[in-house]
Amino acid sequence: MIHLLDTDCLICMIRGGRSSARRRRREQSAVLEENCRRVQAAGDHVGLSAVTVSELEFGARLNGRYGQEMAAVRKVLAPFRFYDYDAVQCPPHYGRVRQELESSGRSIGCEELLIAAHALALDAILVTNKDAHFRRISGLRVVNWLK
């Protein structure tokens, strides 16, 4: 089984891993890290979509301290598997999900749509703190490790 971490989880881990992080952020980061270790110990994989890695790159460039930010990002990314967004498997899921959400007037952001399509194509469980967004998507397995 693959557990695909959403961008918000990685941001939580990056910010929570800083010495200047507030106690709540450190605690949330520790919970996420512990859950990653737990599922890996059970034989599952924890990974990241190329879309998530792209979002982190963009965030680091916006930060104004690109070198420092990317060092923190690389440190957090190191233990995870990376999954490329497949041009054959992912688009049908993206098209279906976007059409269903827009038809119902409950659309979500572009990056979230891409990550959801990727999780569906991988038959993965999406780990996110934005579970209310992603639970709108039929067939997508979603878990929030911080609730």
pLDDT in tens, 99-144: 999 999 999 999 999 999 999 999 999 999 999 989 999 999 999 9
Record the tokens describing residue 83, joined without a space: 């999954």
* Edge-to-edge strand ranges of the sheet holding 2-5: 81-83, 45-49, 2-5, 125-127, 141-143
What is the predicted pLDDT for the residue at 85?
A: 97
What are the structural domains of the chain? Answer: 2-143 (3.40.50.1010)
Which pLDDT score is estimated for 7?
Answer: 96
Give 3-state DSSP helix, strand, coil % of the chain, rounded to 5.
60, 10, 30
Question: What's the whole-model pTM score?
Answer: 0.94
126 close to 141: Cβ distance less than 8 angstroms: yes
Tokens found for residue 18: 């800083």
Rounded Cα–Cα distance for residues 34 and 41 (Å): 10
User: What is the rounded distance in angstroms from the CA atom of residue 104 to the CA atom of residue 127?
Assistant: 24
Length in residues, the chain = 147
Q: pLDDT tens for residues 12-44?
A: 999 887 777 688 888 999 999 999 999 999 999
Q: Which two tokens stand for residue 3?
A: 């557990």
- Residue 103 structure tokens: 């038809």
Sign, CA dihedral 134-33-26-64, equals negative
